[in-house]
A and B are shown apart, each in its own frame.
Chain A
Amino acid sequence: EVQLVESGGGSVQPGGSLRLSCAASGFTFSSYWMSWVRQAPGEGLEWVANIKEDVSESYSVDSVKGRFTISRDNAKNSLYLQMNSLRAEDTAVYYCARGQHLAHWGQGTLVTVSS
């Protein structure tokens, strides 16, 4: 069974940093693209970033470029999202998902950016 478990969320002040993690199990992690998607409170879904199996390619939405970095460690079956220079508008539940096509999702981790 595919399992994705996010962690690392919490409360942070504007301008601060957080690193989200996603622990994967139940599939061959190193064979799949991995993605991050977020959802602000009461709002719709927003695709954030993804990364290829061999880390040779990654893409992100313009609003996070230069601030967020997606990475992965295939030896640890883990996906990461390093978030710097956080803004109030980054407040959201962050989901990791398997594949470019988001076939399976984790339960999400809440990031709150507030002073």
Chain B
Amino acid sequence: DIQMTQSPSSLSASVGDRVTITCRASQGIRNDLGWYQQKPGKAPKRLIYAASSLQTGVPSRFSGSGSGTEFTLTISSLQPEDFATYYCLQLNTYPFTFGGGTKVEIK
């Protein structure tokens, strides 16, 4: 199975900060990667697909980049509603696998 190593597992940041989350795949997955946001008690929501394409309706402060084995999710200016847990997901090879998650907390 492809392992997705996500870092950091948690971070504390302030409103307005630039935040970067990284996912590393154990083997190349081209750009077959998505990013998801989950708030407590809620279903996940897709933010990014195909590594860098913004889901319709998602604010432009979210962006994704990378291909192969290294991927990043960047929030350019953290807003109060962005405090949540973020997951990457590789969709290149079955079984699809998620990263362990990054919890973004208020500093």
Contact = CB atoms under 8 A, between A and B. Distances in A.
Interface of A: 37, 44-47, 50, 59-62, 95, 100-108
Contacts, number: 50
A104 to B, nearest CB: 8
Given A102-B89, A106-B43, A46 B49 contact: no
For chain B, the bracket of interface size reads 20 to 34
B46 A59 contact: no
B91 A45 contact: no
- The prevalent SS among residues of B at the interface is loop
Contacts of B99: 44
Contacts of B43: 95, 105-108
Nearest to A100: B91
Interface in B55-90: 55, 87, 89
A95 B98 CA distance: 14
Given A45-B36, A45-B87, A60 B95 contact: yes
